[in-house]
Amino acid sequence: MTLGLTTAVVAAICYGVGSILQAAAARGTAQVEGLDPRLLVRLLRSWKYLLGVGLDGLGFLLGLVAVRSLPLFVVQSIVASFLAITAILGAIFLKMPLSRRDKVGIAVVVIGLVLVGSSAAEDAEVAVSAAETWGVLIATVVLVVLAIPAGRLNGAAGATAMGAVAGLAFGATAVAARMLPDDLAAIPASPATWALVLGGVTALLTYSVALQRGTVTQATAPVVVGETIAPAIVGLTLLGDAPRPGWGIVAAIGFVMAVAGAVSLARHGEIEEEAPTT
């Protein structure tokens, strides 16, 4: 369990730093119409984006390790704390002062994570059926379909809609990671593997578009909600996740505090808008 908690915390740090770098790159790139994959091609020319994605990739791999040994509600709430890390790093390195509300939000996140971490139990071994692995793949495909009309929305509505799709796609990757077979030879053919890949690409593209449509707050807050609540529900109902005996209320309170505190800090990811380049 110690390994899982450690890797989840380091993953949150990677996501926190990476989010600032990706936001800077996305806001400094010419805006696209709809769900245009060419946005990723343009962003790949930016060292900020590449470094941010690299940190996200490292965070994803660390999160993959964490979800194999801890309940999803624990891992996803810790990962959501990346916004608290973003706020702290922004105050230290980017001269983005913390308001009283920010400090309260950070305190709420920390208290929530302490409660969640204290209530965590070792992940239970639960057999995953073929129907469940196909289910997560179908759900991921549905998210791809939903992203198309959402990508046509502009402004705050577009940022929120695409952020919500991105959050659910990130959540789908976490669920898929838990469903990966232990047999390495069976991984390539597993629907969970394809859901993991498709969900990752969808999340990356929709989040980048969301950052262009509106503020970081409008784009990131629904990401945090989608990537924490949906996987937690799946984990508790289908994958055998559970807190320590008698700690259910503590886990629930901690989870809500961690997510609510993280959402309140989404605003702190705002950066100065750079002139778009082609």
Would you say residue 268 has pLDDT above 70? no
Distance, CA of 189 to CA of 231 (rounded, Å): 23
Mean pLDDT (the chain) is: 83
What local confidence, expressed as pLDDT, does residue 93 receive? Answer: 67
* Domain segments of the chain as ranges: 2-269
Distance, CA of 206 to CA of 165 (rounded, Å): 7
Would you say residue 138 has pLDDT above 50? yes
- All residues at 6 or more sequence positions from 259 whose CB lies less than 8 Å from its CB, including other chains: 77, 80, 112, 224, 225, 228, 229
Distance, CA of 210 to CA of 154 (rounded, Å): 9
The C-alpha torsion from 47 through 210 and 12 to 177, rounded to 10°, is -100
Average of per-residue pLDDT across 62-85: 85
What local confidence, expressed as pLDDT, does residue 277 receive? Answer: 45
The structure tokens 């380091």 sit at 10
- 263 closest CA partner among 230, 220, 216: 220
Q: Which of 13-17, 138-142, 165-169, 185-189 has the lowest mean pLDDT?
A: 13-17
Burial of 195 (0-12, 13-18, 19+ CB in 10 A): buried
What local confidence, expressed as pLDDT, does residue 162 receive? Answer: 92
172-218, pLDDT tens digit by residue? 999 998 899 888 889 999 999 999 999 999 998 898 888 778 776 77
Would you say residue 271 has pLDDT above 60? no
221-258, pLDDT tens digit by residue? 888 888 888 999 998 888 888 888 889 999 999 999 99
What local confidence, expressed as pLDDT, does residue 238 receive? Answer: 87
% the chain with pLDDT above 70: 84
What local confidence, expressed as pLDDT, does residue 256 receive? Answer: 92
Task: Read off the tokens for 132.
Answer: 């469940």
More confident residue, 18 or 131: 131
Distance, CA of 202 to CA of 184 (rounded, Å): 25
Burial of 34 (0-12, 13-18, 19+ CB in 10 A): middle
Would you say residue 58 has pLDDT above 60? yes
Distance, CA of 11 to CA of 125 (rounded, Å): 23
Would you say residue 129 has pLDDT above 50? yes
What local confidence, expressed as pLDDT, does residue 269 receive? Answer: 53
pLDDT-based confidence at 120, cuts 50/70/90?
A: confident
